[in-house]
Chains A and B, each alone.
Chain A
Amino acid sequence: MTVTRAPAETLSVLDRSNSYIGKTVPRPNLDRLLQGRGQYVSDLELPRMAHVVFLRSPYAHARIVAIDADAARRMSGVIAIVTGRELEAVITPWVGVLSHLKGLKSAPQHAIAVDRACWQGEAVAAIVATSRAAAEDAMEHVVVDYEELETVTDMRTALDPATPVIHSALGDNLAFERTLNAGDVDQALSDSEVVEADFVFGRHTGVTLEPRAVVADWNAAEARLTIYQGTQAPHMVQNIAALHLGLREAQVRVVCKDVGGSFGIKVHIYADEMATYALSKLLRRPIKFVADRVESFNTDIHARDHRCRGRIGVKPDGTITAFEIDDLTGIGPYSMYPRTSAIEANQVVNLVGGPYVTANYRARARVVFQNKNVMCQYRAVGHPIACSVTEGLVDLAAAKIGMDPVEIRRRNLIPDDAYPCASPSGMKFEQLSHHASLAKLLQMMDYDALRAEQAALRARNIHRGIGIASFIEVTNPSAAFYGVGGAKISSQDGVAVRLDAQGSVICQTSITEQGQGSESLTAQIVGSVLGVSMDRVRVTLGDTDNTPYGGGTWASRGAGIGGEAALQAAKALRQNILDVAAAILQSTPAGLDIVNNSIVNAVDGAPRIELNELARIVYFRPDTLPPGVQPELMATRHFVPRQYPFAFTNGVQASWLEVDTETGFVTLLKHWVVEDCGTIINPQLVDEQIRGGVVQGLGAALFEKCIYDERGQLTNANMADYLVPMSGEMPDIEIGHVVSPTQETELGAKGAGEAGTAGAAAAVANAVNDALRPFGATITEIPLTPQVILTALGRI
């Protein structure tokens, strides 16, 4: 790895001799998961637990005239059939807006549709029975009389006067609009060569291995609701459930143990989950809802459905003079709650052109309602759109002036010594490393040799392409992301650590684990700072009763924010331990250290007393301590970034692929990523985060798309027709790092969860266009299906 900054003058806690930081160590939860002892909500069984299935609207837009459930109610195993109107008595509706997204509007959304269903898949009744199968049997006998209404499906015509308005009280179908004008774009473009293109992005979704799952258990005796849910933000769920059920937060406990994949899909509040909480309260028993795969496709948030017109100005010497975009996205009938569905378009405006020096940037983004499933934040929110548009335009500009794609980037990427600085959209960059990253990437892929190979193969009618994509990545979000807009979504996290009576450490953290390694990185940090071996650190997460208050794990914040809280808590506990040790040993705290579970002399490392002996004295023989010494073997610290709204990271990706120009099929041959996430806590976990992210980006590039017909019917809501990327089509993905730690924390870690997804599709699209250059074909649409490619080639 390449380190961009000289080491600090003084050694930090990260430099301790027995540090786990920067080491690939096995994840503490691995054996548990591999031996089938994971605690997934899907597997949870409680006494008296009933199962709910939702009867969902087959129409994209319909009035619910009548629901006849009499026959179904009499069926074996059926406990209750509940309509939206009936559930209203227990739970209030919500509106997914935030005040910092000025002008964002949405309509009240109910847990179960009342009067009207606004997308195919919206729940119109809940069937509660003793088993899922019994509930599905009964569902077939619930008769709903629908009056089909006109649908709004095409985002391009959603704002036309002739198009019906989905929520008449809102006046039109425009949910949100943002414009930005920095520098002098008109002047810049008038002096430049201008290239323009329409970029089209398929609507797709996250496809978690474990679907959304919740068990809600209302205990009437305690007047308390326990929610077991696969979520990324337990305290957010606690707050929202309490708010809409008329409870105090203290009356709601959210437990979230193992989660089978999240990717941003599970950071939202879904109507059917709210209905499940409400049903438990209404029926006074545990209720379980596990989405089946068809429901997942129809109700898990979708993302990325954007059409973006982009323009770039370029001088003959390669200087990029301006970027301009006009972005349009359709978000379904409601802005999602509580994070809203305007964030993705907002991010696109924030991020376009971000890696480059040009100060001239004009943008408009419009977010419109339509009768399709809801859209919201999915891994790398807005990044793939912004990166594909920016990097697509940069490649088009390079082609226009006949410059190598690498050279135009060298001439325009923000220099590595120009920081701190800000983008035209006002994003503050502390320290990025575009040039160091690009240099490392070119060396890893042996760019010149690859170009030579490409030329040689072209002569044999084999068409391969190289695509490069630089990107910036939003991580470690502060309160600027949601809190300032009025959302009760914590941007701070807390960690409590305590020494038990045998010298082991119990650590409670408010970040959550969905497979990315939150548990491991917390144990690594705590073990390193305390001087305790990792096998003696036990991490508890995902329980609002038993962890400090905090945001959870999303937006690449776990390591950077939760990790820093863990570091500071462990430092505080370490000091407390050394204070006690000094009292016991008649030494000074400064003269002592903790190494390998023992107190040692700081100077010569000579062992003085083992931690378990110290703990024994503190807990069982405090009478032997000097008077006035009151040990505190538990410490809690919280952390939130204050200096920078986001810790931006950066990186660059490259794709090497072959296009069969007869069939339109693309074979991915190799993929490279260089990423700079600051301090790396566990290299393997970081690399796998990036690889997983790349694969999701490659899915978007070549395969994944929610295909709707003109009546708003999702036509491929199953795993046979919705194509997720599979290992057989994936290339080897090689990862490199540049390390620019953030100075805002002692840990120096930034996030790495979005990087792979941010740039993968852009790299692939650029590579396909590179391969097709001899044919004069340019494609700015994903997924790049054989149909799209053959059409562009004029073969069909």
Chain B
Amino acid sequence: MKAAAFAYARATSVVNALELLAAHGDKAKVLSGGQSLMPAMNLRLISPDILVDIGGLAELRGIAVRAGVLIVGALTRHVDLLRSPEIALYAPLLRDAVAHVAHPAIRNRGTIGGSLAHADPASELPACVVALDAMIVVRGPSGERRIAATEFFKGIYETALSPDELLVAIEVPVAGQGSTFFFQEYARRHGDYAVVGLAARAVVAAGRFTDLRLGFFAIGDRPMLAAAAGRLINASVTSALLAEAATALADELDPQEDQQATAAMRRHLATVLLRRCVAALLARPDLEAGVAR
């Protein structure tokens, strides 16, 4: 279990990193926290010719708030998301989600940019940025562009990022009045990839949802914003309505089967999550048991 030989370049600036990526194209891999890349290389699942290490680019690190937008640098580590007061205040969903990401040793090195660019459909942060309606900021030879999180994820380990582009930041609209969040995942063990997970952002007023974004993950080839949420917005949520939404959710999901769960089990767990999420967000414990057969 030793990686095949590879060249290594430590980028001195974003411009330098982009030059290196331009020179090597898809034969290069960007090294950020290395928590997915290194195991894959050691297993020889991938053998890049060169690693472009962006770990030294201080300009990609850090969390700031500007004009109602929370800007998270791509190199921000999971542990920083967990401890940041700005994240706790403006996007607590990220903090709640990161607690489920692997273990402290991995959270100390893994980065949000790395996680999003890697685009593992079972990982937490892609679903969070989808639920939060975030923008992914990428820089390439022709400058900077912003991609909506909902458009960023294209498939298993596939994103809208091209090989000569670098993910530099994530922009999250700050949580407004009445914003509330829910994060839960079912994993076999603490820190494992989820069997099914849900990252949700809602705006609740007078016991009703005025907005509800449900980002399911580990239920397909990319995080999925559930259309079924629409049935619960601006409506009086009853057990019957919730059951209807659960059925709609089960219909719109097309989950994969793997060693942890069949497609039927993933559908089932997604509906349980929906029910528990809505009950929690509306503070209505009655709804949780409501749909049980």
Contacts and interface: CB of A to CB of B under 8 A. Distances in A.
Interface of A: 132-133, 136-137, 140, 292-294, 461, 662-665, 703, 707, 715-716, 718, 720-721, 723, 725-726, 728-729, 785-787, 790, 795-796
Q: Which of A137, A662, A721, A729 has the most CB atoms of chain B within a 10 A radius of its CB?
A: A662
Given A137-B5, A294-B43, A703 B289 contact: no
Contacts of A718: 43
Interface of B: 1-5, 43-44, 186, 188-193, 195, 259-262, 264-265, 268-269, 272, 289, 292
A53 to B, nearest CB: 9
Contact of B2 (A132, A723, A786, A795): A132
B259 A721 contact: yes
B261 A787 contact: yes
A729 B189 contact: yes
A667 to B, nearest CB: 11
Given A133-B2, A461-B289, A707-B259, A790 B192 contact: no
Contacts of B259: 707, 715-716, 721
B192 A723 contact: yes
B292 A662 contact: yes
B94 to A, nearest CB: 21
Contact of A729 (B190, B261, B264, B272): B190
B189 A790 contact: no
B189 A728 contact: yes
A137 B269 CA distance: 44
A796 B195 CA distance: 15
Contact of A663 (B43, B186, B189, B289): B186
A294 B272 contact: no
Taking chain B's interface residues, is the majority helix, strand, or loop, or is none over half, making it mixed?
A: loop
Contacts of A293: 1
A723 B195 contact: no
A55 B2 CA distance: 14
Contacts of A292: 1
A796 B189 contact: no
B264 A136 contact: no
A167 B262 CA distance: 36
Given A726-B190, A786-B186, A786-B195, A795 B5 contact: no
27 contacts: A132-B2, A136-B1, A137-B5, A662-B272, A663-B269, A665-B186, A703-B188, A703-B189, A715-B259, A718-B43, A720-B192, A723-B192, A726-B189, A728-B190, A729-B190, A786-B186, A786-B260, A786-B261, A786-B265, A787-B260, A787-B261, A787-B262, A787-B265, A790-B268, A795-B268, A796-B264, A796-B265
Given A720-B192, A786-B261, 11 more contacts: A132-B2, A133-B2, A292-B1, A294-B1, A294-B43, A664-B265, A723-B189, A728-B190, A728-B191, A786-B260, A787-B261
Q: Which of B4, B190, B269 has the most CB atoms of chain A within a 10 A radius of its CB?
A: B269
A703 B227 CA distance: 34
A177 B37 CA distance: 49
A292 B261 CA distance: 28
A669 to B, nearest CB: 16
Nearest to B292: A662
Contacts of A785: 188, 260
Contacts of A796: 262, 264-265, 268
A795 B2 CA distance: 44
A726 B192 CA distance: 11
A372 to B, nearest CB: 17
A137 B189 contact: no
A728 B195 CA distance: 17
Contact of A136 (B2, B192, B292): B2
Contacts of B4: 136-137, 140
A136 B189 CA distance: 32
Contacts of A721: 259
A785 B261 CA distance: 9
Contacts of A787: 260-262, 265
A786 B186 CA distance: 10
A715 B259 CA distance: 9
Contacts of B264: 796
Contacts of A294: 1, 43
Nearest to B190: A728
A703 B3 CA distance: 29
Contacts of A461: 289
A703 B187 CA distance: 12
A177 to B, nearest CB: 33
B239 to A, nearest CB: 15
Contacts of A140: 4, 44
Nearest to A461: B289
A544 B35 CA distance: 43
Contacts of B3: 133
B285 to A, nearest CB: 11
10 closest residue pairs by CB, A with B: A728-B190, A292-B1, A133-B2, A796-B264, A662-B272, A796-B268, A796-B265, A136-B2, A726-B189, A729-B189
A138 to B, nearest CB: 11
Given A796-B262, A796-B265, A723 B1 contact: no
Contacts of B1: 136, 292-294
B175 to A, nearest CB: 28
Q: Which of A725, A728, A785, A796 has the most CB atoms of chain B within a 10 A radius of its CB?
A: A796
A34 to B, nearest CB: 19
A662 B269 CA distance: 8
Contacts of A723: 188-189, 192
Nearest to A715: B259
A663 B272 contact: yes
A241 to B, nearest CB: 27
A764 to B, nearest CB: 15
B265 A790 contact: yes
Contacts of A665: 186
Q: Which of A461, A716, A795 has the most CB atoms of chain B within a 10 A radius of its CB?
A: A795
Q: Which of B190, B195, B259 has the most CB atoms of chain A within a 10 A radius of its CB?
A: B259
A715 B257 CA distance: 14
A785 B188 CA distance: 8
A180 to B, nearest CB: 37
Nearest to B193: A720
A403 to B, nearest CB: 31
